[in-house]
Amino acid sequence: MSVVKVIEILAQSDKGWEDAVQQAVTEASKTVRHIKSVYVEEFQALVEDNKVVSYRVTAKISFLLER
């Protein structure tokens, strides 16, 4: 039987939302093993002078717990 844990990660990128999601997974993988999925719960963008300058995501990352 497998047990899955879910953590919430906030990540940011100047390139776009897809890169922000990848940043979340990359950073989480530094301390978490067996990542199986990422669910993006929320998208945000920072705007300066009528231009989007940064993209943010709230992501839930699921991973298998070790025995």
pLDDT at 67: 77
Domain boundaries along the sequence of the chain: 4-64
Is it the case that residue 62 has pLDDT exceeding 80? yes
pLDDT at 20: 97
CA gyration radius for the chain? 14
CATH class of the domain defined by 4-64: alpha beta
Whole-number Å distance between alpha carbons of 13 and 49: 18
Which 8-state DSSP code applies to residue 42?
E
Reported as a single tens digit per residue, the pLDDT across 6-51 is 999 999 999 999 999 999 999 999 999 999 999 999 999 999 999 9
What's the pLDDT at 2?
A: 83
Pairing verdict, β 51-64 and 4-13: antiparallel
Cβ neighbours of residue 3 closer than 8 Å, sequence gap 6 or more: 64, 65
pLDDT attached to residue 33? 92
pTM listed for this prediction: 0.87
Q: Which DSSP state fits 49? A: T
